[in-house]
């Protein structure tokens, strides 16, 4: 199978089978008449609980609560819909954010807490948005009516019209997307208090500083804010506010900068003020120096505009000690190479990559993938700043040799020679004999029967020095000159020209196989296979 196809297959396997999280939610709506009354009563009770435990204070409440308690309260804010009330709630309110899920779905289970936390944040911001969830498997009628076709699905209903979700999957990303679609795409700040409150809620954002909210550059800024679905845009004409948000701001007539909660916290936009260039700037800078791969962000990571990606496989404990080293190297390759950390404990994230590379999950392991050409690479030296720096430099400039997985070189000889990735060139391409090669995989249904035929064929031609039989397990071995996507595959590499192997029908009988070898042996006059085989039969 070609390398690029294997990577796609590995990506599909990244769905990890987590046990479903406990979904604690109150049944808020009993019938169509008290839909909103039940929600209001619930929120009022929840506010009373907060005041009792928090002493009436504001911002410190969540710090005093356990994580489980915060999640419990967040889940209570999300309205549970059913076949009876779903249509009325979704279509009769000004704005409804709906999550369609299935209890058995691991992605639903991972998204549910983030969705509930987003509901809490939106409520604390004063949003009148109704946030709801629907068990789409149990309430199939409602799911079909509202347009939920998979799990999980997020839809935003504005005055009854559904809008498909196009944002990220963290609490903040959900909040930003919803606010952009239900309000202004850009938040305008005119006071320090408002700016400080904004910083309380947003860890990543785009700041625009303009002398006046007008002009062609400002128009392009607005267009980018409307188009982008993931990052909050904020604007100001106050230099004091601009410096609070972006301390290193260069006060000119116009300025755009990206702010993140990372070591490289501030990124200045230094290109032409055009919508596509602003969006490109965001795309190349929105990820942290080292992005942790999760099930929910995997699609965004793989589809990133940064096509050169370096993966670090390790445990959280080990990677914490390595993080400063990795970040130092990553700073030198911002916008060129994306650095991604994969937790080895997350078996369904790490194992497909280990299978793709034919490696055991030792730690730490550093690999690289070029999404432009589908080539993969491996850091075979110990991980240190110097080795990682050299690896990334050669990766960026295209001087790294691609990595092809291989089993260990076999020590035992057999009638049908075992070929591995490391011996393919010497055993097949560079050998003086003609080579009859069987390419198989352990999971192939037809491979076992074909292997028995090849074994019999090898026994029939036993003793011929100019012909050998070999087999290679394509699930564990790769070579750039061997790109196979059907198994089993039988190939004859004639001694005269190994560049164009002859494909052999796997449906042939043993008699047909023998005739095939004789035919192509006869065509090679220098070898004399046919003559030797006939003498053998005479004996």
Q: Which residues are catalytic?
A: 105, 444, 447
3-state DSSP: the chain helix, strand, coil percent, rounded to 5? 40, 20, 40
Q: Which residues contact 127 (CB under 8 A, 6 or more apart)?
A: 178, 179, 182
Cα 453 to Cα 461: distance, rounded to the nearest angstrom: 13
How far, in Å, are 385, 409, 442, 499 from residue 422 at the CA level? 29, 7, 19, 18
Q: Which residues contact 12 (CB under 8 A, 6 or more apart)?
A: none
Cα 25 to Cα 16: distance, rounded to the nearest angstrom: 25
Long-range contacts of 373-380 (CB under 8 A, 24+ apart): 373/4, 374/2, 374/3, 374/4, 374/7, 375/3, 375/402, 376/3, 376/7, 376/402, 376/403, 377/401, 377/402, 377/403, 378/403
Beta strands in 16-92 (DSSP E): 79-81
* Contact call for residues 291 and 341 (beta carbons, < 8 A): yes
Q: In the beta sheet, which residues pair with residue 186?
A: 233
Q: In the beta sheet, which residues pair with residue 188?
A: 235
Residue 99: φ, ψ to 5°: -110, 120
- How, if at all, do strands 232-236 and 186-188 pair? parallel
- How, if at all, do strands 365-370 and 337-343 pair? unpaired
How far, in Å, are 41, 71, 154, 174, 479 from residue 131 at the CA level? 15, 15, 11, 12, 53
Which DSSP state fits 493? E
Cα 471 to Cα 488: distance, rounded to the nearest angstrom: 10
Q: In the beta sheet, which residues pair with residue 133?
A: 80, 99
Q: For the chain, what's the residue count?
A: 539
Cα 154 to Cα 474: distance, rounded to the nearest angstrom: 41
Cα 158 to Cα 173: distance, rounded to the nearest angstrom: 19
Spatial strand order of the sheet with 337-343 comes to 290-292, 337-343, 308-314, 365-370, 375-378
Cα 59 to Cα 506: distance, rounded to the nearest angstrom: 71
């Amino acid at each position: 199978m070609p390398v690029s196809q294997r990577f796609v297959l590995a990506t599909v396997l990244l769905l990890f089978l987590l046990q479903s999280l406990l979904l604690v939610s109150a049944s808020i709506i009993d019938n169509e008449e008290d839909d909103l009354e039940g929600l209001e009563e619930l929120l009022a009770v929840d506010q009373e609980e907060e005041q009792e435990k928090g002493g009436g204070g504001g911002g410190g409440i969540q710090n005093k609560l356990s994580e489980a308690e915060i999640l419990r309260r967040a889940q209570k804010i999300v309205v549970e819909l059913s076949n009876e009330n779903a249509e009325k709630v979704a279509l009769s309110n000004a704005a409804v954010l709906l999550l369609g899920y299935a209890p058995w779905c691991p992605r639903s289970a991972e998204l549910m807490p983030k969705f509930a936390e987003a509901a809490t944040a939106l409520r604390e911001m004063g949003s009148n948005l109704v946030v709801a969830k629907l068990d789409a498997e149990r309430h199939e009628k409602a799911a079909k009516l509202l347009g939920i076709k998979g799990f999980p699905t997020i839809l935003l209903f504005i005055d009854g019209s559904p809008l498909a979700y196009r944002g990220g999957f963290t609490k903040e990303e959900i909040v930003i997307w919803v606010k952009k679609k239900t309000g202004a795409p850009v938040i305008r700040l005119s006071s320090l208090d408002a700016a400080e409150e904004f910083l309380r809620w947003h860890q990543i954002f785009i700041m625009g500083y303009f002398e006046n909210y007008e002009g062609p550059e400002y128009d392009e800024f607005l267009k980018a804010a409307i188009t982008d679905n993931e990052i909050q845009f904020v604007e100001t004409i106050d230099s004091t506010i601009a410096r609070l948000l972006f301390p290193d701001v260069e006060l000119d007539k116009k300025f755009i900068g990206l702010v993140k909660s990372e070591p490289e916290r501030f990124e200045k936009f230094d290109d032409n003020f055009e919508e596509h260039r602003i969006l490109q700037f965001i795309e190349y800078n929105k990820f942290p120096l080292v992005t942790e791969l999760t099930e929910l962000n995997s699609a965004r990571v793989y589809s990133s505009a940064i096509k050169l990606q370096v993966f670090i496989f390790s445990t959280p404990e080990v990677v914490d000690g390595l993080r400063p080293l990795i970040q130092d190297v990553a700073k030198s390759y911002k916008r060129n190479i994306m650095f991604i950390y994969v937790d080895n404990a997350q078996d369904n994230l790490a194992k497909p990559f280990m299978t793709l590379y034919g490696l055991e999950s030792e730690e730490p392991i550093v690999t690289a993938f070029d999404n432009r050409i589908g080539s993969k690479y491996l850091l075979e030296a110990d991980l240190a700043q110097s080795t990682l720096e050299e690896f990334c430099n050669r990766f960026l400039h295209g001087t790294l040799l691609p990595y092809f997985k291989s089993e260990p070189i076999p020590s035992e000889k057999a009638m049908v020679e075992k070929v591995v990735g490391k011996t393919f060139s010497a055993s097949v391409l560079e050998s003086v004999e003609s080579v009859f090669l069987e390419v198989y995989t352990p999971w192939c249904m037809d491979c076992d029967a074909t292997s028995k035929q090849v074994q019999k064929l090898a026994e029939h031609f036993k003793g011929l020095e100019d012909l050998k039989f070999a087999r290679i397990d394509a699930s564990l071995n790769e070579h750039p000159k061997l790109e196979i996507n059907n198994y089993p595959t039988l190939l004859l590499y004639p001694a005269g020209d190994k560049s164009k192997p002859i494909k052999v029908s796997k449906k042939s009988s043993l008699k047909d196989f023998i005739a095939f070898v004789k035919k192509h042996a006869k065509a090679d006059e220098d070898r004399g296979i046919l003559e030797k085989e006939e003498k053998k039969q005479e004996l």
